[in-house]
Structure 1
């Protein structure tokens, strides 16, 4: 969560990204989430999307392959991109998966690159996402 004036320092983003790269490798995902003022933190503004994009770029420049922005539905960096051909392999809108371009072994359908995603997309994932109460 990138909170303006509290946790939006770009040097910290670089340190964190380097730590993740060194300790876990380039395929470890990192998510930079947009803060929205709520409850007891109303004195802070929402995180500017531009700030999140700077954090994203730092992590990519360090060498992390799977960097995401969250709480910004519709942003191009909420998707999973193939680290080889740069096509979208998991297309998202918020918490919804709109497109799954991975084969049965979680390889990119465009170039065959193995994507480090565990598990499979379940049939009926759209219908089963919510349980409605009457």
Structure 2
């Protein structure tokens, strides 16, 4: 960011909106503020949500499976999704009574005290909290904890490159494979999300994707095929993809939930296209939430809700056929 001109406008380079913020104004996110020609992260250390979650709730299925993650959220978002399920905090103001202070070092101590294996920044868009997550991430790594972004992927290249040494997992929403969807439903663009996901993979982060399948919006065969093919070609066939069921919420209440049959069709198509680990979400105790060997189809990890049972793994191989199975079982920091 920098100041320019007599108006003391500042440019924010954190997310791909790259907002030009006038004096005493906020960026699209609502939490990055121009005060006297200086850009401030006004939500730093301000917590709206704190919980001990199963890592599968993020959802992350191939990152420290069966462990707990200390999960924090604040307020603000750089998207304006019409179907937002966390709108109460993503759209909250800096004066919200939900907010309380939590220093990075205190958060790390709470994570360790709760026997968590990782810290997750989630619930609202963690990129809006960038400096806070950067500081806490360094402390978490020093204490042996993994770190997770549950993100919409609109972070810029320069911000992600700086963050990557303090981050282990990049759980990214790819909300659709249509720029028109991103513009009309989210107030954003598709390509920066794809670029960030590919960069995260390049930087060595563990990447899993989530797509909320919305009837009549992003559920066509052509669009899903395009998305799955892109992930295989740019992130790799071992990338876990989660296809989750839509439920009416916020400003998108004009349609019903996604038919389970639609999700099953997408799952089966993903396997046919060569994706090794597709999953369904928000569908109760469905068999397609389990992890199966991509070679012999043996059951490897069984999931009932957030209860996880390892059934057929021998280390990082299928116990039945010996196929290598990609997942993160432990965190090692230099």
What's the TM-score bracket when you normalise by the shorter of the two chains?
Answer: 0.7 to 0.9
Classify the secondary structure of the residue corresponding to 1:60: helix
Larger relative contact order (CA 8 Å, sep ≥ 6): 1
1:19, distance to aligned residue in structure 2 (A): 0.5
1:83, distance to aligned residue in structure 2 (A): 1.2
Classify the secondary structure of the residue corresponding to 1:85: coil
Measure, in 2, the Cα distance between the counterparts of 1:40 and 1:98.
38
Classify the secondary structure of the residue corresponding to 1:113: coil
Q: 90-99 or 2-11, which moves further after superposition?
A: 90-99
Q: What count of residue pairs does the alignment treat as equivalent?
A: 119
Select which of 47, 70, 73 maps to 2:258.
47
1:77, distance to aligned residue in structure 2 (A): 0.9
Select which of 210, 215, 230 maps to 1:19.
230
Measure, in 2, the Cα distance between the counterparts of 1:7 and 1:95.
27
CA shift digits 1:71-130 (9 cap, x unpaired) = 112211111001122111010123321344322x3222222222101115xxxxxxxxxx
Q: Is the 8 A contact 1:91 1:99 kept in 2?
A: yes
Q: Is the 8 A contact 1:102 1:109 kept in 2?
A: yes
Q: Which runs of 5+ in 2 are unaligned?
A: 1-211
**Bigger CA radius of gyration:** 2
| Alignment RMSD | 1.5
Select which of 227, 247, 250 maps to 1:36.
247
Measure, in 1, the Cα distance between the counterparts of 2:298 and 2:217.
35
Q: Which runs of 4+ in 1 moved over 6 A?
A: none
Partner of 1:112: 322
Measure, in 2, the Cα distance between the counterparts of 1:84 and 1:60.
11
Classify the secondary structure of the residue corresponding to 1:32: strand
Structure 2 length-normalised TM: 0.34
Partner of 1:89: 300
Q: Which runs of 5+ in 1 are unaligned?
A: 121-134
Question: Whose strand proportion is higher, 1 or 2?
Answer: 2
Structure 1 length-normalised TM: 0.80
